[in-house]
Amino acid sequence: MARHSTHLAHHFDNATQQFESSKLGMWLFLATEILLFGGLFVAYTVYRANHPEIFVYAHHFLDKTLGGINTLVLICSSLTMALAVRAAQLGQRQRTVTLLAVTLLCAFAFLGIKYVEYKAKWEHGLLWGRHYQPALHDASAGAHQVPVLPAAPPQAAGDGSEASLIAPAAPAPVGLAPQATAPAPPAGKHEPPADLAAPKNVHIFFGIYFAMTGLHGIHVLAGMIAITWILRRARRGEFGPEYYTPVDLVGLYWHLVDLIWIYLFPLLYLIK
């Protein structure tokens, strides 16, 4: 078929050599991605090993249900992606297109759920660094009450140079008062238990959470762009048994994006 010769680049001897080279190249690129995320996993490990109380406390703010749904969504998308590669190999144009489209939809769903989660964090002041202001914005969420976090205790005299810069909880309109016992938390899934005292520097968790899930989200977005690109090529009938390399390579990338989330989910959401 003409497709064979037009896809063989001049510097390769045969299609097999070209295909194997492409695969090796993609695996090497995936290795770089693993090292990239690896830095964040190391940061997670270092901070969790040194301050487990921060992670135990703060992970309660995450919604395990939404995180679990996202996990299922991505796993499904990996399945449809793998099936799409198979369909491309077999030259099944319509099936390839459909499966890639479903994969794309799953990715949209993932990002949609992440948006919902991020928005909730923003509204409840559950952010990184100095932006961690958990008692603010409470009026906007009626049923979602964030438990009172007592103001950070004053430093011992010995290390007075490390005065906490976290603002104490401001009095808010919904009847919260500093140092009051928290009202019985509503039957929500995302607050720490009332008897769990807040440790110092809870924001560290959120810094790591947003860095890891944010970088992951960027990679999901990049994957969506790549999937859209091969979806268009598949619609034009460009893939078949002699040439399906781009589908295969995008599939590999997508599986890695899924795999990274499969590590992120238990590490961030399922700590206790």
Binding site residues, other proteins, CB under 8 A: 9-12, 17, 20-21, 24-25, 28-29, 31-33, 35-40, 42-43, 46-47, 51, 128-131, 162, 165, 200-201, 203-204, 207-208, 210-211, 215
Cβ proximity to other proteins: between 108 and 128 the closer is 128
Which two structure tokens, joined as six digits, stand for 240?
Answer: 């078949």
Cβ proximity to other proteins: between 102 and 215 the closer is 215
Cβ proximity to other proteins: between 199 and 223 the closer is 199
Cβ proximity to other proteins: between 40 and 106 the closer is 40
Smallest distance, Å, CB 177 to other proteins?
A: 26
Smallest distance, Å, CB 30 to other proteins?
A: 10
Cβ proximity to other proteins: between 106 and 250 the closer is 250
Strand partners, 243: 240
Question: How many Cβ atoms are within 10 Å of 247's Cβ, its own excluded?
Answer: 26
Q: Which amino acid is at 266?
A: P
Q: Give the rounded distance of the alpha carbon of 37 from its chain centre.
A: 11
Smallest distance, Å, CB 77 to other proteins?
A: 24
CA distance 76 to 106: 8
Smallest distance, Å, CB 28 to other proteins?
A: 5
Smallest distance, Å, CB 266 to other proteins?
A: 21
CA distance 205 to 148: 18
CA distance 86 to 105: 19
Cβ proximity to other proteins: between 163 and 194 the closer is 163
Q: In sequence order, which ranges of the chain are alpha helices (DSSP H)?
A: 2-7, 15-50, 52-58, 64-89, 93-123, 203-235, 245-269
Q: Give the rounded distance of the alpha carbon of 22 from its chain centre.
A: 27
Cβ proximity to other proteins: between 72 and 218 the closer is 218
Smallest distance, Å, CB 80 to other proteins?
A: 28
Cβ proximity to other proteins: between 41 and 108 the closer is 41
Strand partners, 240: 243
Smallest distance, Å, CB 165 to other proteins?
A: 6
Smallest distance, Å, CB 75 to other proteins?
A: 25
CA distance 205 to 25: 35
What single-letter DSSP state applies at residue 139?
Answer: G
CA distance 161 to 157: 9
SS (H, E, C) 57-85: HHHHHCCHHHHHHHHHHHHHHHHHHHHHH
